Structures are given as structure tokens and as C-alpha cells.
Structure 1
Amino acid sequence: MPTIKLTRPKLDAGEKIYFGALFKGFFLTMTHAIKSLRGKSPGSKSLKSSGLGVTMQFPEQRWDDQMPEYYRGAPTLVTDEQGRERCVSCQLCEFICPPKAIKITPSEIPADDKWSKVEKRPLEFDIDMIRCIYCGMCEEVCPEQAIFLRKDYLITGTSRAAMVHNKEKLYEIGGTRVGLVNKWNELK
């Protein structure tokens, strides 16, 4: 196979000292600055900005009414209408999670429980929100519709340990979900 030699294009005097690129960048920046000071920034009205640019004043203004339907936020666990756990510890969400952010420890349901026909429930269910990439694969793979991605983007913590949400915290955030749950289906 023959070797192909490429030659770089020759730069003229203006390109060698970069003044042309510097002036172009300066004038573009100043154009945007003047437009934003005059209140003509694109998108400022739709974001309800403060008037200078399109920056949203965060604590007072939120993205909540601007979120698209397809937005994926924090993963949470949900219960059914009677407060029962939907999760059956099948561990599919743990296996499919690309960054391995989900850890599940399954446990047995006691034989004297009236719902003992269901074999397992999670003893521990942890999601590391620092590792989570909010891809939604856990929600898609769950056969019992036990895990959902909420439209929550305010996930904060003061330490790494605080960013690992355990089962109780996930149920607290997730709440109750209405609808058919395969786990409690009598025909199953």
C-alpha cells in the first residue's frame, strides 16, 4: 500500500498572528453582549429570565414548567395503592444498569404472610445517585413497574454516603403508583 504524504496549507501573514480570529471573536461577543443588554437575547422570554441574557435565577425560578415529557430524572421505587412493595427482587435492574449504580439484596417473604405466594422482596435496595447516569434502562426492564424515573433534577447531598439512596428513601421519594401490578395479580 503506497504512503500518502499530506502537506499543510500555507498560512498568510494575518493567519500567522491570529489577529483576524481575535477580532472576529471579540466582535461576536460584543454583539451578543449588546443584544442581551437591550433585552433581545434569543430565548429570554420563554425562560422568563431576569432581562439580562437568558440566565434563569435558580432558587426563585425553576425549570418545572419547562420540562419536556421525555425528561428522565431521579430513579425511585413505588408502592401500590395498598402500600405493598412492587419490587420482587428479580435483580434485572441491577444487571442492566450500565454504571452498576443499583445494589439489591433479596430476602424471602415469611410463609405465614398472606402474600407469601410472591417469593422474594428486597431486603436492601440501594441506588448510588453519583454513579447513576439516568438512562432509564432500569425502568424499562422492570417487569413489575416498581422503579420509575421522576422529573426530579434537584438531587443533592452533603457527602457521598448521603447520595446513596436506600430502600426507605427511595420509597419516600417515589410514593404510590396506581395501576395493575403483576406481583399481586391473582391470575399470575
Structure 2
Amino acid sequence: MSKDWSAVFERSINTLFLTEMVRGLMLTLKYFFEKKVTINYPFEKGPLSPRFRGEHALRRYPTGEERCIACKLCEAVRLLSLMNSKLVKICPAQAITIEAEEREDGSRRTTRYDIDMTKCIYCGFCQEACPVDAIVEGPNFEFATETHEELLYDKEKLLENGDRWETEIAENLRSESLYR
């Protein structure tokens, strides 16, 4: 019975003197005078990881030739498991469409490379599957638009993104080469 009275007495003292509220105010005052951790976005931007997966881009070789060899691995169907024998697309959202034609020298080139960014889930499987690092997800995350049609990227838009972000993309791929 003495424990019950001591608990009631302690609770009464806490309520009377508002000790929990004072503790909370002291914590607030402690952090009030410390350095701010918030970022004033969009005027200030925080660091991005080299593994960040943003807006898609098609890359070119230093000679200016497109890297894409039209192997269609980024959109190809592959066998997921021999046990359940289900077919699964490498692009799980089925956002990539590629058409190719053969060149005079026997190699292939893409005539159409479309990505529906409204379907894309930014999983990075297309980037992992590409044997020549042609399709990459770049560092840009600010690509909001006003219409749906602006998020249907064609080959020209993807190449333009690649040209714009090539230095950052190449640097990120170099830093990631140890983990591939």
C-alpha cells in the first residue's frame, strides 16, 4: 500500500510542478541554439548519393556515337526462375519501348527508344542490364511537368539528358565501378 501512495504522490508532484513540460521546454531550448539542420530548398540543395536514381538518359561515346547497341536487354523478357517458370520483364513497369534496324556494317541501331516516365518505378534494372552503360539514371530529380505528354521521353530527349548530365553520370559510374 505504501507503493501506491508513493506513486500517487509522485504523479501529483509531476502534475503540480509540470516537470514533464519543463523537461520538454529545456530540450527545445537546447536545440534552439544549435546549428540548424534544415535546408532552404530550392535555394540550397543537399548532397546526392552516387547511387541516386533520377531522370533517365542515353549516353554517347566520346566520338559522339550513341552507346546503345539495340540489344533490348533493358526491355527484354527473361526467365525469372526455373521452379515456377514465370516470364518477367526486366523493366517491371513495362515503361521502355525499343525499335531497331540493322546498319550497313551488320550492327544494329535504335530507331526508337521511348520511356514512359509515368510508368517508370526507378528500379534501376534497365541500367544494370545494359552491357555498354547506354541507359542510365542520372542525378536530376527536378523534372516536374504540367502535362502527361512531357513525361513520354523519346530518344532525342534521352540523348539530350545524357549530353547535359554526362560529366556527373561518368563520375558517378566511376565511383560505383567497385560495386558492380
Same fold (TM over 0.5): yes
User: Are 2:112 and 1:106 equivalent residues in the alignment?
Assistant: no
Q: How does 1:63-78 map to 2 (within 5 A)?
A: 63=46, 66-78=47-59
In structure 2, the CA distance between the partners of 1:40 and 1:142, relative to structure 1 (3 Å rule), is same
Q: How does 1:168-183 map to 2 (within 5 A)?
A: 168-175=156-163
CA distance in 2, matches of 1:40, 1:127: 46
CA distance in 2, matches of 1:166, 1:40: 48
CA RMSD of aligned residues (A): 2.7
User: Are 2:76 and 1:83 equivalent residues in the alignment?
Assistant: no
CA deviation string 1:32-59 (max 9, x = no partner) = x946982558xx33xxxxxxxx3x3222
Partner of 2:40: 57
Partner of 1:128: 116
Report the residue type matching 2:49 in the other structure: P
Structure 1: which 4+ aligned runs deviate by more than 6 Å? none
Partner of 1:15: none
CA deviation string 1:108-146 (max 9, x = no partner) = 22x2xxxx231x111111111122111111111111221
Q: Which runs of 5+ in 2 are unaligned?
A: 1-20, 77-89, 171-180
Q: Does structure 1 conserve the Cα–Cα contact (< 8 Å) formed by 2:94 and 2:119?
A: yes
CA deviation string 1:50-78 (max 9, x = no partner) = xxxx3x32221123xx1122222222100
Higher helix share: 2
SS, match of residue 94 in structure 1? coil
Q: Which runs of 5+ in 1 are unaligned?
A: 1-26, 46-53, 179-188
Q: Percent identity?
A: 32
In structure 2, the CA distance between the partners of 1:36 and 1:142, relative to structure 1 (3 Å rule), is farther
Report the residue type matching 1:117 in the other structure: G
